[in-house]
Structure 1
Amino acid sequence: MALNKGIIFLLLFLGSICYGQNTAKKVALTKVIVSIEKQFNVKFSYAVEDVAAITIEKPNAAFTLQQTIDYLNSKTLLNFKALDNRYVTVSVINKTISVCGIVLSDENKTPLIGASVLVNGIEKSTLTDKNGQFTFENIPLNFIISISYLGFESKQIAVYELFSAQNNCNEIILTTKNEELNQVLINIYLTPGLQKYLDGSTVLNTKKFGILPGLIEPDILQSIQVLPGVESNNESIANINVRGGTNDQNLVLWDNIKMYHSGHFFGLISAYNPNLTNKVIVSKNGTSAEYSDGVSSTINMQTKDNVTNVFSGGAGINLISSDAFLEIPITKKLEFHISGRRSITDLYQSPTYTNYFERSFQDSEINTNNDQKDTSSDFYFYDYTAKLLYDINENHQFRATIIGINNALDYSELHTINSNETESKISNLSQKNIGYGGNWKGQWTPKLSTNLITYFSKYNIDATDYRIETDQLLTEANEVLETGIKFNSNYKPNDNLNLLAGYQFNETGMLNQTTVNNPKYTSTKKDVLLNHALFSEVEYHKKNTYLRLGLRLNYFQKFEKLIVEPRINIRQKISNQFALKLEGEYKNQSTTQIIDFEDDFLGVEKRRWVLVTDKDIPIATSKQGSFGVEFNQNKLNIEATGFYKIVDGITASNQGFYNSFQYANANGSYNAKGLEFLANKTDYKYSFWLSYTFSTNQYEFDSFTPSTFPNNVDIRHSVSLGFYYNLFKNLKIAVGGIWRNGQPYTKPVEGNETVQNGNSTMVNYGIPNKENLDDFMRLDASLNYSFNLSPNIKAVFTAGVINATNHENSINQYYKVNPNDSNKTIQVDNKSLGLTPNISFRVNF
């Protein structure tokens, strides 16, 4: 009881503030009460601790008693009530009030639209509207409201500080983060939660994420495909093509841990749980010198990094999986975050699962039709993350992270030999990626900071395939082990300039193994590569100019080879509406994937990681430049960017050819050039976008004839159209469509479809990639409805549908020799997802 009175005393002491315009001197409320008692010959009844520390401006001496009481009620968080002409009672009002505020920037006091406002303790949250305003009803007096906005210092404010009897909204000023030179350029980019930085990178903030067509959650690798120049030619997140590159040319980082696996369901669902993800930064060009080893793009995922001392969490379920996460404060300086997700497909096989299964396994022996076989399969996946956050003191922080990803498939087959005898076979496939990371941040002086990063990443894919017909057991394994350490130092002499210097060391080992029992055969190959790198860059931002210049030196100890990589990133604003953008970079990559369409891992996963040898598999290098024009006015953003990229050191074995070069060993290059266009009109309630990408992408292999031909992902024209609308406060919809040219493929020579090669008969392919599949078209839609189950629990229901028109799209076409007629071929068509609905339900507290 004493504690409650103490809290009330403190709240009233801090909270009884007058918000009027009168500047009269405040006096103790006890003195005002004594004066009123004498003036009107009344007696006030109150607890001394409720009023002892409150100050107030004296009421007008001409007021009547009732006017005086009304005045006291309007200026304090107390309840004054006249029982009769003699007695007035004083009590603490209801401990919940309604509050409102207007969030403004410290520069020109412009409204901050879409700022995140959270009531700590009950997890009630909202976003500021087009005027920067927010409101809450029935909020406890002793709670704290947290306000955050990317590029600004977060602010915490007590609920009682927002009390205003005149129902006026209080102005809340957020201060620009001086240490962040690379500030936010566009706050709402296509949809809330997507933002654009000055350096051209795109940031996905999963906490503030709105909704995108077809998605039921902010799937990280699905969401970034809405960006111009980012495609998936087979609609798989395991095959994201950025400006014509292959998926293995994307550097994927999770809390600075390099990841070698990205998808569940063998590519249809992102393997990264978004619930503890704070932001995802996607860079297509002009990357910081801090990063390398991805010649196409960098996808940098970062989890929540602040100790909030607030217990919170959530859980959700959809037609594929269920998940949960918790943020657990341990002490004021120590916090623990954990999340987990698992498929429910082994418990309930929904129509969504059926579509995903058929799409994933359509081109594998899992889905092979054979009347003599009775088959069944058991597939599941899971992932988990955990993070320990420790603030050692005001200037030093330690963070430790773990992430685990797993896909598992068991496939059983009952083979009928005769009417009385059967044989069974069980095969399995396991695909895992686990990573550990830690970093120590130190702020040594106001100008000097350091960050020491360490990580370990392990990727395994293992398959056991027992073949009844030949009594043959085939086992395959691909393993990657990588250890890394990086040290960054930042020196900031002033608010406009930042200097970065650092060192990075990586040790990467890879194993590829194949074993056959009948006839006995074993192949094991191990490789290890050490890489040292020094990097430095200068970043400058003042008024209309942003500049980042960097240099990275990479030394490969095994090959005694030095690769120099310059980087440039410039943005110059030439008027209030127009800006010019110039980006360029050299990058390298020492890991790649080779593709075996014949028999890798049950035919489900056809890619395996290998290390470069600097001979038959050279270090891949890229050179890229881009120039763009930006227009931004009245929340209309228009961008046009021309780019040119050449990647040298690719191999025929990692391109996945279905042509006469399918089994060839050769090194070559590809060059991609084109134009990206985006028009995006946003408001607090809606966003409309239209993007178009034109590009040409050509291979060049000197040892091939012809030496130049279209790339497998040569998509000349691609158009994306989308619309997001906030119908009501809690109801959002998104509708969008994709149209693009079909990808290239190769036909056999007409009239001479097969050719004899020794004892083997092979498809006799014609001119490589001369033909194109039919155009790809898809319409997606999503609906999101949020509501409160209680003051402390928020619920969200989301429904989405992929390919709402059930349009049949061909995503690949190739040919096999007809087993019944060796002079003929069989055409194999891989299809995209048909109409695929999904729903999810989430609760957060």
Structure 2
Amino acid sequence: MNRTNSIITLLFIVFSFSFQAIAQAQEKIDLLDLIEQLEAKFDVKFSYSGDELAQVLVSKPNKDASLKVVIAELNNATVFNFKFLTERYITISTINKVISICGVVISSTDKQPLFGASVVVKNTTKGTIIDKDGYFELTNVGINDTINISFLGFKTIEIKATHLRFNSKSCKTLNMDAQNEALNQILISKFLTTGLQKYIDGSTVLNTNKFGILPGLTDPDILQSIQALPGVESVNESIANINVRGGTNDQNLMLWDGIKMYHSGHFFGLISAYNPYLTNKVVVTKNGTSSEFNEGVSSTINMSTKNKITNTFSGGAGASLIHADAFLEIPLTKKLALHVSGRRSFTDVLNSPTYDNYFERSFQDSKLTTNSGDTSDSKSSSDFFFYDYTAKLLFDLNDNHKFRANIIGINNNLDYRESFKNSEDEKESKTSNLKQENLGFGASWNALWNTKFNTEVTAFYSQYNVDAIDYRVETDQRLIQANEVLETSIKLKTTFKVSNTINVLNGYQFSEIGILNATDVSAPSYDKTKKEVLLNHALFGEIEFNKNNTYLRVGGRGNYFQKFNKLIIEPRLNFRQKVFNRYAIKLQGEFKNQSATQIIDFQDDFLGVENRRWILANEQNIPISESKQVSLGLEYNYKNLVIDVEGFYKNVDGVTVSNQGFYNNFQYINAAGSYNAKGVEFLINKTANNYSAWLSYAYSVNNYEFKTLEPSVFPNNVDIRHSVSMAFNYDALSNLKISVGGVWRSGKPYTKPVEGNETVQDGNNTFVNYEAPNSENLENFMRVDASVNYNFNISKSTLGTLRAGVLNVLDRKNTVNRYYEVSQENSEKAIQIDNFSLGLTPNVSFRVQF
């Protein structure tokens, strides 16, 4: 018993001493009292504001600690900056106080790290990207700074730097909430490169604000960047001719802030017409499209600009060897802001080697080059420039009602002058002109009526014009051509959140589209104008379910064409099921239709530069195009390694001969038919903190079927059997990025003349006598590109970026098209004409952002 009491007494004594030691270690003291003690003890003087230090408690320092140790502890433990002016005088302030911060960012729903999220010190260019474990760290952060943590699809976090102060024990864990209105969450946060992400419904998102680097690019060119995706390419290297799973460019629905666009490329296809620096994200969907969207039987490319009002004035400007641009985000009040951007080429003032290469590529085989052999009697010259501009007005009545209004303008202008001596030996000159314009207006009202119900009303007006005045010196003839598209549309969309896992979307859309085509010839006098108008009423709806490992979106759209009294029903399906943790099965399907398509006249349209014009379906010789598509895929995703295999089958009915642009015996025949494309797409992508690499391969078979032609089945003009792309991005330093990659694909089909019988005569006309259509293939296409990106701070709030890129590093001469014409010297012979891709083309850009 005594022994037991002794043990209890001993434990009590040990516990008492431990408690006293802990209490002493944690004893707090008023900072002002501590300063008085330090002044008396060490004979020093502190300079400070009593109001700032009032009622601040600090841990009482060890009585044997030196003054420097105490000051170091105070610097580390408080928000104040203790600084020795001399050995006796010390200042205390919050000015220029810097700290180190760190944190771990995870999703609040599945607690997974948000790899690729952006961490930025507010009102500065200082920041970093969250790593694969969700961790970030920043040094030399101001004690009073605010930290912004943002991630596409999640609510932005704003937090004071002091709350993230680095210490030896742990870093604060931050939970990011997904946007309430989006069940379609991000599946892969860093896909191919920084700023490319993949949604759970299979669509790909390009976040231009966080865009990393891609081979050959000096700007985050929207339509160039999406060609990194398997199944998306341009067989003739032009972004005005993007082919998605074997489709033509006019089969891609392009939306800019809800406005339907009919024009895609500057320089007649070599540069995207959409300024990326106010474009917030681009969503590319190849299949399983939401029932909200109509048209675009091959794909949907949905571009959205920044949509948030901030209280900070910001912007940027830059220039390359082709153009200069600027953008501004201007807060007018707390509820009102204006975003503007503008870009213009200086090619009509200054010619660079990059411009020379672009000019030669864009205008080869046009009037500008085929008539370029100047003589003493005739000389020619040309001027070309382009520009685009955007403006967006943002007004938040309150948190629940938001109004937006925007405008976009795109313009390409080409002047071609010919001077010559007339029959009286007098000098005359004629100027031909080609102008391309797309002007769009849009407005929207988004209303959140309660936590479950949301409505959005959007409307747009889009006008596309291409006009040409062609003076033909040799015949003294003036040819005027015009193509105009006018479309207006209004859409009402409602979203009802049944639960955290189920959304229901419904809506109605009305659109009116009118297309005009006109031709006016002076000698002999001829004038023809044709205009078609079509009204479309549509109802759409879908249910979206997302829980645990299952994502399902089922919907439908009904389109009624008033002119034809025709109803088209379009079911849509998008399903993804995760299995065995690392694998997922994907099934997608859709029916879509399209009433506006392009016809192609390689011989005579618009100076031979722009040879496509929009036309409207009439359900006689030009039917409404209708597509049916299904795809099935398997995906592996583990530790930032993605392997994706997807097979697809697509049939598009209602294509015409004039829509496809044949160079064969069918070139001038009126016929309607279909094409079907089937194939497999493969992608392997590995990302890490400082590098990313990918390899994609696509195999497809694409055939036409025109029942009234012989043969009725033959290869599609864009039947590319094999296509491979690869790239490697490396962050050599935190501010230096390098990217190298390349593309290889089999050559596109073409038709050659019958050997020994190359031409045939029909009355007074002689034509090339072709073999079976598309029975030959061009040589394989191969191109290697490289680029480098260097960021640096010009000042605390201004970031500089220097980029350099080289397209076709090996200067390979790729043939992208081949056709034949009757020889002028010998009408029994056909001459071969080849169009070539860009040669070695360097470009440099410099940007500042503030």
TM-score, normalising length: structure 1: 0.94
- Aligned residues of 1:448 and 1:489 also touching (Cα < 8 A): yes
Aligned to 1:688: 693
Instruction: Give the Å deviation of 1:628.
Output: 0.3
Q: Distance in 2 between matches of 1:22 and 1:522?
A: 100
Query: What do residues 97-118 of structure 1 show as CA deviations (whole Å, max 9, x unaligned)?
Result: 1332223104575443222122
Query: What do residues 165-214 of structure 1 show as CA deviations (whole Å, max 9, x unaligned)?
Result: 66975443323334321111111111111111100000001111111111
Q: Distance in 2 between matches of 1:825 and 1:300?
A: 44
Aligned to 1:526: 531
Q: Distance in 2 between matches of 1:283 and 1:191?
A: 18
Aligned to 2:713: 708
Q: Distance in 1 between matches of 2:264 and 2:492?
A: 26
Aligned to 1:186: 188
Q: What SS does the aligned partner of 1:618 have?
A: coil
Query: What do residues 702-726 of structure 1 show as CA deviations (whole Å, max 9, x unaligned)?
Result: 1000001000000001111111111
Aligned to 1:283: 285
Instruction: Give the Å deviation of 1:633.
Output: 1.6
1:669 equivalent in alignment to 2:674: yes
C-alpha spacing 1:82/1:235, structure 2 compared with 1 (3 Å): closer
Instruction: Give the Å deviation of 1:792.
Output: 1.6
Instruction: Give the Å deviation of 1:23.
Output: 11
- Aligned residues of 2:94 and 2:143 also touching (Cα < 8 A): no
Moved more, 196-205 or 821-830: 821-830
Match of 1:835 among 832, 840, 843: 840
Q: What SS does the aligned partner of 1:621 have?
A: strand
**Unmatched segments (≥5 aa) in structure 1:** 1-19
Match of 2:801 among 777, 787, 796: 796
1:643 equivalent in alignment to 2:648: yes
Aligned to 2:546: 541
C-alpha spacing 1:46/1:357, structure 2 compared with 1 (3 Å): closer
- Aligned residues of 2:99 and 2:143 also touching (Cα < 8 A): no
Q: Distance in 2 between matches of 1:345 and 1:319?
A: 9
Instruction: Give the Å deviation of 1:126.
Output: 2.8
Instruction: Give the Å deviation of 1:765.
Output: 1.1
Aligned to 1:11: none
Instruction: Give the Å deviation of 1:83.
Output: 9.8
Q: Distance in 2 between matches of 1:742 and 1:299?
A: 26
Match of 1:370 among 351, 370, 373: 373
Match of 1:195 among 197, 208, 227: 197
Match of 2:354 among 314, 327, 352: 352
Aligned to 2:206: 204
1:265 equivalent in alignment to 2:270: no
Q: Distance in 2 between matches of 1:160 and 1:515?
A: 72
Aligned to 2:11: none
Query: What do residues 228-259 of structure 1 show as CA deviations (whole Å, max 9, x unaligned)?
Result: 01110100000000000000000000000000
Aligned to 1:92: 93
Q: Distance in 2 between matches of 1:223 and 1:254?
A: 16
Moved more, 364-373 or 34-43: 34-43
Cα-Cα RMSD: 2.4
- Aligned residues of 2:277 and 2:327 also touching (Cα < 8 A): yes
Q: What SS does the aligned partner of 2:829 have?
A: strand
**Amino-acid identity (%):** 59
Q: Distance in 2 between matches of 1:655 and 1:83?
A: 79
1:697 equivalent in alignment to 2:699: no
C-alpha spacing 1:318/1:167, structure 2 compared with 1 (3 Å): farther
Instruction: Give the Å deviation of 1:56.
Output: 3.6
Q: Distance in 2 between matches of 1:465 and 1:106?
A: 60
Instruction: Give the Å deviation of 1:124.
Output: 2.9
Instruction: Give the Å deviation of 1:152.
Output: 2.2
Instruction: Give the Å deviation of 1:756.
Output: 1.4
Match of 1:159 among 161, 172, 183: 161
Instruction: Give the Å deviation of 1:145.
Output: 1.9
Q: What SS does the aligned partner of 1:843 have?
A: strand
Letter in 1 for 2:748: Q
Aligned to 2:8: none
- Aligned residues of 2:432 and 2:471 also touching (Cα < 8 A): yes
Match of 1:250 among 249, 252, 255: 252
C-alpha spacing 1:418/1:28, structure 2 compared with 1 (3 Å): same
Q: What SS does the aligned partner of 1:476 have?
A: strand
Q: Distance in 1 between matches of 2:27 and 2:206?
A: 50
Q: What SS does the aligned partner of 2:123 have?
A: coil
Moved more, 815-824 or 690-699: 815-824
Q: Distance in 2 between matches of 1:65 and 1:234?
A: 74
Query: What do residues 113-143 of structure 1 show as CA deviations (whole Å, max 9, x unaligned)?
Result: 2221222223333323444444444444333
Aligned to 1:595: 600
Q: Distance in 1 between matches of 2:141 and 2:323?
A: 35
Q: What SS does the aligned partner of 1:393 have?
A: coil
Q: What SS does the aligned partner of 2:828 have?
A: strand
- Aligned residues of 1:105 and 1:175 also touching (Cα < 8 A): no
Aligned to 1:516: 521
Letter in 2 for 1:104: V
Moved more, 422-431 or 830-839: 422-431
- The 5-angstrom pairing of residues 87-236 of structure 1 reads 91-107=92-108, 110-164=112-166, 169-236=171-238
Aligned to 1:13: none
Q: What SS does the aligned partner of 1:822 have?
A: coil
Aligned to 2:318: 316
Q: Distance in 2 between matches of 1:33 and 1:91?
A: 11
1:458 equivalent in alignment to 2:460: no
- Aligned residues of 1:74 and 1:165 also touching (Cα < 8 A): no
- Aligned residues of 2:254 and 2:300 also touching (Cα < 8 A): yes
Q: Distance in 2 between matches of 1:635 and 1:105?
A: 16
Instruction: Give the Å deviation of 1:89.
Output: 5.2
Aligned to 2:3: none
Letter in 1 for 2:581: N
1:494 equivalent in alignment to 2:499: yes
Match of 2:407 among 402, 410, 414: 402
Instruction: Give the Å deviation of 1:54.
Output: 2.7
Aligned to 1:824: 829
- The 5-angstrom pairing of residues 382-421 of structure 1 reads 382-416=387-421, 420-421=425-426
Q: What SS does the aligned partner of 2:719 have?
A: coil
Q: Distance in 2 between matches of 1:237 and 1:267?
A: 5
Query: What do residues 760-816 of structure 1 show as CA deviations (whole Å, max 9, x unaligned)?
Result: 111111100001001111111111111111112111111111111011111111111
Q: Distance in 2 between matches of 1:80 and 1:118?
A: 27
Matched residues, number:
825
C-alpha spacing 1:580/1:399, structure 2 compared with 1 (3 Å): same
**Unmatched segments (≥5 aa) in structure 2:** 1-21
Q: Distance in 1 between matches of 2:226 and 2:68?
A: 63
1:730 equivalent in alignment to 2:735: yes
Instruction: Give the Å deviation of 1:93.
Output: 4.3
C-alpha spacing 1:79/1:795, structure 2 compared with 1 (3 Å): closer
Instruction: Give the Å deviation of 1:33.
Output: 5.5
1:752 equivalent in alignment to 2:754: no
Aligned to 2:587: 582
C-alpha spacing 1:82/1:265, structure 2 compared with 1 (3 Å): closer
Q: Distance in 1 between matches of 2:227 and 2:440?
A: 25
Aligned to 1:5: none
- Aligned residues of 2:125 and 2:793 also touching (Cα < 8 A): no
C-alpha spacing 1:45/1:560, structure 2 compared with 1 (3 Å): same
Moved more, 592-601 or 75-84: 75-84
- Aligned residues of 1:102 and 1:111 also touching (Cα < 8 A): no
- Aligned residues of 1:102 and 1:131 also touching (Cα < 8 A): no
Q: Distance in 2 between matches of 1:388 and 1:288?
A: 27
Instruction: Give the Å deviation of 1:470.
Output: 1.7
1:625 equivalent in alignment to 2:627: no
1:558 equivalent in alignment to 2:563: yes
Letter in 1 for 2:391: A
- Aligned residues of 1:384 and 1:403 also touching (Cα < 8 A): yes
Letter in 1 for 2:103: I
1:333 equivalent in alignment to 2:335: yes
C-alpha spacing 1:834/1:491, structure 2 compared with 1 (3 Å): same
C-alpha spacing 1:109/1:536, structure 2 compared with 1 (3 Å): closer
TM-score, normalising length: structure 2: 0.93
Q: Distance in 2 between matches of 1:69 and 1:408?
A: 68
Q: Distance in 2 between matches of 1:746 and 1:281?
A: 37
Aligned to 1:9: none
